[in-house]
Homo-oligomer: A and B are copies of this chain.
Amino acid sequence: MQLHLSTWPEVENYLQSSSGIIFPIGSTEQHGPTGLIGTDAICAEAIAKGVGEATGAMVGPTINVGMALHHLAFPGSISLRPSTLIQVVMDYVSSLANAGFSRFYFINGHGGNIATLKAAFSETYHHLGSHGQDVRCQVGNWFMARGVYQLAKELYSDQEGSHATPSEVAVTQFVYPEAIKTAPLNSEVASGHSIYSAQDFRAHYSDGRMGSNPALATPEHGQRFYEVAVKELSESYQRFLAEN
């Protein structure tokens, strides 16, 4: 059930049986020479929709822009500052908590969002005060699901890397087969450097990839990742709802 395709009386009705909602959160950032700038949002949105279908959960609108300050030296990348993203999360959760939602599950497609999301959850509970003592937020990172990790290992071994990975590129190929990009990829690819400023990032990761070989991706792989992720995050969401 997608919030955007529902009416308010339908939401009112939904709240009779569930107080849970799923938010896909991605990023708008460079993903190497062949990865889509929307990769993280595309993956999160597709998987969240799948989880919604599998579990009957309400799925809210995708947060397309996340915390990607370190990618800003590559054109097309957009980032919220962490302090902005904290306010955004507070506003989303407060709006819906007021209406009766109390379980907020963020299906996340971007590692760079995790820290700020966690900070935002803490600040949100505090901001809501006594109204927020029953509100719970959780982040589900599809790319860190056990089955996803194992499949990536199996398919790509150490060419999975950690940014512009073949696994996430594969999911975008599954979702948007019409937008599969190719480009020559240097077989030498940087890895292992810590993430600091945007300029530093580009100086060390010259084409944007971090240790990955996205040329290995196929739409068929993408479907497999998608299915594994939907299955595991559906279980995770249901455990979240069932927590005492």
| B-chain residues with CB within 8 Å of residue A60 when the two chains form the complex | 28, 78
Chain B residue at smallest Cβ distance from A13: B75
Identify which of residues 90-128 in chain A touch chain B, using a CB-to-CB cut-off of 8 Å: 91-92, 95-96, 98-100, 112, 114-123, 125-126, 128
Complex Cα distance A65/B136, Å?
21
Which positions in A face B, CB cutoff 8 Å? 2-12, 15, 28, 30-38, 41-42, 60-65, 67, 69-70, 72, 74-84, 86-88, 91-92, 95-96, 98-100, 112, 114-123, 125-126, 128, 130, 132-138, 176, 179, 181, 183, 193-194, 196-200, 208, 243
**Contact A76 B35, CB 8 Å, known A115-B115, A115-B118, A119-B82:** no
**Contact A98 B122, CB 8 Å, known A4-B28, A61-B28, A179-B5:** no
Chain B residue at smallest Cβ distance from A172: B5
| B-chain residues with CB within 8 Å of residue A81 when the two chains form the complex | 87, 91, 122-123, 126
Nearest first, the 8 closest Cβ-Cβ pairs linking A and B are: A4-B38, A11-B76, A61-B64, A82-B119, A115-B118, A75-B99, A133-B199, A125-B197
**Contact A36 B4, CB 8 Å, known A82-B119, A86-B83, A91-B84:** yes
Asked whether B125 lies within 8 Å of A69 as measured between CB atoms, the reply is yes
Asked whether A7 lies within 8 Å of B69 as measured between CB atoms, the reply is no
Asked whether B5 lies within 8 Å of A36 as measured between CB atoms, the reply is yes
| B-chain residues with CB within 8 Å of residue A88 when the two chains form the complex | 65, 80, 84, 88
| B-chain residues with CB within 8 Å of residue A37 when the two chains form the complex | 3-8, 11
How many copies of this chain?
Answer: 6
| B-chain residues with CB within 8 Å of residue A118 when the two chains form the complex | 115-116
Most buried by B among A34, A81, A112: A81
| B-chain residues with CB within 8 Å of residue A130 when the two chains form the complex | 199
Asked whether B137 lies within 8 Å of A196 as measured between CB atoms, the reply is yes
A91 CB to nearest B CB, Å: 5
